[in-house]
Amino acid sequence: MSERTSYEPGTPCWIDLGTPDQDAAAEFYGGLFGWSVEEGEDPEATGGYRVAMLKGKAIGGVMKLMEEGQPPAWSTYISVADADETVAKVKEAGGNVLFEVMDVLDYGRQSFFADPTGAIVGIWQPGKNIGAGLVNEPGALSWNELNTRDPESAKRFYGAVFGWTFDDEYRGEGPGYTTILLGGNPVGGLLDLAAQGVPEEIPAHWQIYFAVEDTDATVEAAKQRGGGVMLEPFDTPVGRIAILHDPFAASFGVIALSEEAQAKAP
């Protein structure tokens, strides 16, 4: 069991889903991945934020959409030691801060920003909540990936903000793919949308991947539960991948990791 009690600053640590229907989302993902989706300790104070649990560990959140016209989507959060200091770096490096640092009760401190290529991501300074307590297990978060049309601008920005380095040859993933490294260890990926021929209407974004035991079986289960397929299953050096969406069009990836990838999982 890949349990976590802390995250090195600069490591993706948490995800949550913005959805128009928390109950329906809980039913879909609960049936697909075996989650229980619980209300927080103080739903009035947290706006009804719910926590997804797997094997007794928190793995992500499910919340109501905050604004009219906001699209359903999964968000990635990156752990930081000092949220205020990180936001200052974001501004200096050319990012657009969407809202300033705020306290989330005693759980932690957060902010969201758009990088210079347009992808939106959150930061999390841990308090009582350090992030996901379980990763790299079937049904839990396994990988976070920046999809962008301007990899070089993204590399400069995230290198300045989080100290990341980038390796285009790390696992032989193929052209247009870069591994994000923190202290020499893989913490995420960077996909060049243009090099992959992704349609122009797909904007820069952070993609999340859940580990599964059987990618093809998960795809079929998602279809039966009202989800859909954006990219049919295909094999990569790190495992078999598919990109899906839930009944409200929020996209997510699934991956059945190869044995080698499991051994190297961050």
Residue 20 covered by a domain: yes
Task: State which of 65, 95, 126 marks the end of a domain.
Answer: 126
Residue 91, domain CATH: 3.10.180.10
3-class secondary-structure state, position 159: helix
Could you tell me if 249 and 183 lie in one domain?
yes
Q: Which residue, of 93, 126, 159, is where some domain finishes?
A: 126
Residue 6 burial (CB < 10 Å; 0-12/13-18/19+)? exposed
Is 104 found in the same domain as 47? yes
- One DSSP character per residue, 61-103 reads EEEE--STTPPPEEEEEEE-S-HHHHHHHHHHTT-EEEEEEEE
| Structural domains counted in the chain | 2
Q: Where are the beta strands (DSSP E) in the chain?
A: 12-19, 36-39, 50-54, 57-64, 73-79, 96-104, 108-114, 120-126, 141-148, 165-167, 177-182, 185-192, 205-211, 228-236, 239-245, 251-257
Note the helical H segments in 113-212: 151-162
Q: What confidence tens digit (pLDDT) does each residue in 153-197 have?
A: 999 999 999 999 999 875 555 567 999 999 999 999 999 999 888
pTM, to two decimals: 0.94
Per the CB < 8 A criterion, the answer to whether 2 and 140 are in contact is yes
Q: Which residue, among 184, 208, 153, has the nearest Cα to 13 in the 3D structure?
A: 208
152, two tokens = 């070089």
Contact 74, 61 (CB under 8 A): no
- Cβ-based burial of 35 (10 A; exposed 0-12, middle 13-18, buried ≥19): buried
Amino acid letter, 99:
F
**145/260 same-domain check:** yes
Helix (H) / strand (E) element for 194: namely none
Distance from C-alpha of 188 to C-alpha of 179, rounded to nearest angstrom = 6
User: pLDDT per position in the chain (266 positions), as tens?
Assistant: 489 999 999 999 999 999 999 999 999 999 999 999 987 777 777 789 999 999 999 999 999 998 888 899 999 999 999 999 999 999 999 999 999 999 999 999 999 999 999 999 999 999 999 999 999 999 999 999 999 999 999 999 999 999 999 998 755 555 679 999 999 999 999 999 998 888 999 999 999 999 999 999 999 999 999 999 999 999 988 899 999 999 999 999 999 987 766 666 65
Note whether 122 and 146 are same-domain residues: no
Q: Give the residue from 69, 94, 126 where a domain finishes.
A: 126
Residue 148 and residue 119 in one domain = no
Q: Are residues 106 and 185 in the same domain?
A: no
Range of the domain at 189: 141-264
